[in-house]
Chains A and B, each alone.
Chain A
Amino acid sequence: MDRGTVITLAYLLASVLFILGIKGLTHPRTAVRGNLLGALGMLIAIVATLIHWSIIEYHWIILGLVVGAVIGAVLALKVKMTAMPQMVALLNGFGGGASVLVAGAELTRTPPAPYSDALIATYASAVIGAVTFWGSLLAFAKLEEYRAFRQPIRYPLLQPINAVLGLLALALCVIGIGQPQYIGLYWGVVAIASVLGLTLVNPIGGADMPVVIALLNSYSGLAAAATGFVLGNAVLIISGSSVGASGIILTNIMCKAMNRSMTNVLFGVLQADEGAAKQDDVYRNVKGAAAEEIAMLFDTARRVVIVPGYGMAVAQAQHAVRDLYQLLESRGIEVLFGIHPVAGRMPGHMNVLLAEAEIPYDKLKELDEINSILSETDVAIVLGANDVVNPLAKTDPKSPIAGMPIIEVDKAKTVVVIKRSLSPGFANIPNPLFAADNTLMFFADGKRAVLDLIAAIKES
């Protein structure tokens, strides 16, 4: 066998391992193995590439591999579970950035013929890769809550500007595809697509973040596939497109969980209805309660459901929640967790945090399952969640969250809402749950509140 055949067969093996890896990652029992299969496939692909005949010097490759591996390993081992959304955003971005640079290097190295498919793919890599890179970096900055990025930068003509940028990039692509010798055109496209990546992600925030992260995940796959067309390399096309598909599936799951279309999440603006009830009217009958009062509820309770939201992540309250869970279970109370698919800032955010705190996986219930149990629940504790438990989604067809499936905590005998204030959630609408007859508000930081609650239960 000649070297080319060995490399191609190795790539085939890698492709198969990637597909098996992604398949494995979708089932709890095979997930660890799936991840390892993917890593093995990557190792095989890298080793096969290192014996490629066109490589004549190794020092830059080795430098890049070592630097990247050290940074990657440190990031992966140090990152806090609460910071996982940022981490995923960052990794998505790096994949996209690599695609831009590889396509750019190929264009410098071996300029393809005008109007060739390799050249078209080069420009596709530029657009998808640059949008992914800068969009992900901005998503990262938003999730890290850097001061400058807490609020979207507001400017008029948002969508027209995006459209103009898109058309401009397209026009430059068309010129560039006819003139491969003008490499400056390529970087011009990269620059415009970079701005586009920023302007596309800029208006999106808060509860819509899970959709953006899942979509950028899909883009990072498509960027790799586009680079596969540039290089004429099947392993890039296969793995890139299957990653693209998995990202789209996750994006759809997230959109369904909010009862909104992808277009609406990406280009729509959430706006509270003019005729909506005023906050003061809604909150006239809010009842506050102290830890001692709430602790007494657990004397007679037999089933408690905890509904966590982004607030739990912000307060880093997951370990305190675990202690509360253990205390209640030790008193013979059944404790379950109701997880809304878009709770938090990325798909599966709450599951990761609760797993970190060693809360058994089978205690975490999905939306439908928890809703069927809530009417037979004594106490529902809402911890740092807001829109995902807002009954307006069911009762007010004009509400911006109308039709969104919610966790129906209001069906429980008593609802305890732990929240710092009555401030609205991402959708910016009041939540009548807070003023319901069976609701007690516990105004405090999430972690502090849970710790106080534990102390009060132990005393009573």
Chain B
Amino acid sequence: MLNNCFLLAEQINEVAEVTQGSQLPLALALTIFVLAIFVGFEIITKVPPTLHTPLMSGSNAISGITIVGAIIAAGAGHSGLATLLGTIAVVLATINVVGGFLVTNRMLHMFKRKS
């Protein structure tokens, strides 16, 4: 099940290449969305309580992927407003990404120290 989901997601991503990554057709985007939710539910089976917090902070850092859109908005040089919004978004998303991964790493090393 997991492997199937995984392969499918990869294949769909390959199809997405054809569209140059700029505009994904809705049906394809929805397919990816639904499959990725399945993948999410499949890979997280049983989480030991010790990892509840690191899972939250680590996965939260991953959701900072919005940074990709923020970078384009900040750098496309469209208008002052779009650039301003993009730059603030870059700041927020970078705090999210850097803070999230670092603090998760810090926590996990505390867990590791003595087990």
Chain A residues with CB under 8 A of B41: 245, 249
Chain A residues with CB under 8 A of B83: 60, 105
A143 located at the interface, meaning its Cβ lies under 8 Å from any Cβ of chain B in the complex = no
Contact between A360 and B82 (Cβ–Cβ < 8 Å)? Answer: no
A: number of interface residues (CB 8 Å) = 123
Question: Looking at chain A's contact residues, is the secondary structure mostly helix, strand, loop, or mixed?
Answer: helix
B68-83 contacts to A, CB under 8 A, are 68-79, 81-83
A54 located at the interface, meaning its Cβ lies under 8 Å from any Cβ of chain B in the complex = yes
| Residue in B10, B58, B100 whose beta carbon sits within 8 Å of that of A22 in the complex | B58
A239 located at the interface, meaning its Cβ lies under 8 Å from any Cβ of chain B in the complex = yes
Contact between A54 and B72 (Cβ–Cβ < 8 Å)? Answer: yes
A-B contact count (CB 8 A): 423
A199 located at the interface, meaning its Cβ lies under 8 Å from any Cβ of chain B in the complex = no
B4 located at the interface, meaning its Cβ lies under 8 Å from any Cβ of chain A in the complex = no
- Give the distance to chain B from A129, nearest Cβ to Cβ, in Å: 9
The interface-forming segment of A72-80, A299-307, A418-426 is A72-80
A199-244 contacts to B, CB under 8 A, are 213-214, 217, 220-221, 223-225, 227-244
Chain B residues with CB under 8 A of A364: 49-50
A402 located at the interface, meaning its Cβ lies under 8 Å from any Cβ of chain B in the complex = no
Contact between B105 and A60 (Cβ–Cβ < 8 Å)? Answer: no
Once bound together, how far apart are the Cα atoms of A458 and B78, in whole Å? 71
Contact between B58 and A77 (Cβ–Cβ < 8 Å)? Answer: no
Contact between A339 and B68 (Cβ–Cβ < 8 Å)? Answer: no
Once bound together, how far apart are the Cα atoms of A52 and B19, in whole Å? 15
A173-209 contacts to B, CB under 8 A, are none
Once bound together, how far apart are the Cα atoms of A102 and B32, in whole Å? 21
A12 located at the interface, meaning its Cβ lies under 8 Å from any Cβ of chain B in the complex = yes
A9 located at the interface, meaning its Cβ lies under 8 Å from any Cβ of chain B in the complex = yes
Contact between B59 and A247 (Cβ–Cβ < 8 Å)? Answer: yes
A106 located at the interface, meaning its Cβ lies under 8 Å from any Cβ of chain B in the complex = yes
Contact between A98 and B70 (Cβ–Cβ < 8 Å)? Answer: yes
Q: What are the 7 tightest A-B residue pairs by CB atom distance, in nearest-first order?
A: A68-B94, A245-B40, A64-B90, A348-B52, A72-B98, A347-B52, A72-B99
A-B contact pairs, 23 of them (CB 8 A): A9-B17, A32-B108, A42-B64, A56-B77, A64-B87, A72-B96, A72-B97, A72-B100, A84-B107, A91-B96, A98-B66, A102-B69, A109-B82, A217-B59, A229-B29, A232-B22, A232-B24, A250-B47, A347-B53, A351-B50, A352-B110, A361-B114, A362-B115
B residues within 8 Å of A by Cβ?
Answer: 6, 9-10, 12-14, 16-17, 19-24, 26, 29, 32-33, 36-37, 39-41, 43-79, 81-83, 85-115
